[in-house]
Amino acid sequence: METAFIVNRLAGRGRSGKIWDKIEPLLRRELAFKTYYTVQAGDAVRLAGQAGAEGASLLVAVGGDGTIFEMVNGMDLSRCTLGILPTGTGSDLCRSLRYPQDPFAVAKQLFHWKSRRIDLGRIDGRRYFVNVIGAGFDGQVAYEINTKLKHLTGKAAYLVGILKNLVTYRNAPLDVEYDGRRWEGKALLIAIGNGSFYGGGLKVVPPAVLDDGCFHVCLAKDLSKIETLKILPKVYSGGHIGHPDIEVFTARRITVKSPVSLMIQADGELLGTLPLTVEVAPRALSVLAPDPGGEAVPLPVSGEIASA
């Protein structure tokens, strides 16, 4: 299996490049591969296609969820497998895949893992998302992080973005159609999950399973600001489920509309504003991952990669 690494050095506010500089020479002692570097937004789409056309069948993303989002929209899904070195701000897909959060631990284990097939979400029939797509408050937070909070990383960026927007954000009317059913009303946000996590570890849709052929949707209804603040700490454990204004349901196809111009985020990337239609593409992506029945804990590493 020919291997290519697509490296976003700027992911994680530049942390990604520093990690890659340590990991690359260690990998080269054990593995032959090509390296492609992104320079600007959208490059990973093109480079994933280029790497596949040049013979690579294993494409490893060195970056975060945004890098993965782009690569999946550029790679040949019929013949290529995705691997991930999590070096980005959130790396939330890796949480659902049960990756160790330490990229050095991942580098040690990645090429010993088997591939598994997971679902994708098809957006408006044109492109894919892998993890979570949402609109409303979370879209506005993603906008804040991507445009105004570039000096912060990880959970700090998401928490600051959430708290800043709580002051000014107003719940908006949503029209949600899914699998022949419909809901209308004011809502804080809607999060459509293929995976469980977003926002640097927020377990927004705890029941989500990456290969079950359906989305798990979290609809946060007309919550007050005070109630939102009360619920927020519980989202890290999934404890918000069961609140009377939080509804979770499954869907294979869902359309979201609003008379208000609400931001859409997919895997942390901004996609414009509503309306939005997504449908499941079952088992469309092959990805290297630990045994899905294993524990989501870092495993011991040894040798040069471990000591880097």
Q: What is the β-pairing status of strands 172-178 and 181-193?
A: antiparallel
Q: Is 249 exposed, middle or buried (0-12, 13-18, 19+ CB in 10 A)?
A: middle
SS3 93: helix
Options 70, 227, 247, 269, the catalytic residue: 269
Q: How many CB atoms lie within 10 A of CB 32?
A: 8
Annotation says 247 is catalytic: no
- CA pair distance 208, 301, nearest whole angstrom: 30
Helix, strand, or coil (residue 197): coil
Please tell me the distance from the alpha carbon of residue 194 to that of residue 169, in angstroms, as a whole number. Answer: 26
Least Cα distance to 129 among 277, 302, 294 occurs for 277
Cβ(83)–Cβ(60) under 8 Å? Answer: yes
Please answer whether residues 194 and 208 qualify as being in contact, where contact means their C-beta atoms are separated by less than 8 angstroms: yes
Residues 42, 6 contacting (CB under 8 angstroms): no
d(CA 35, CA 50): 11
Q: Which residues are catalytic?
A: 269
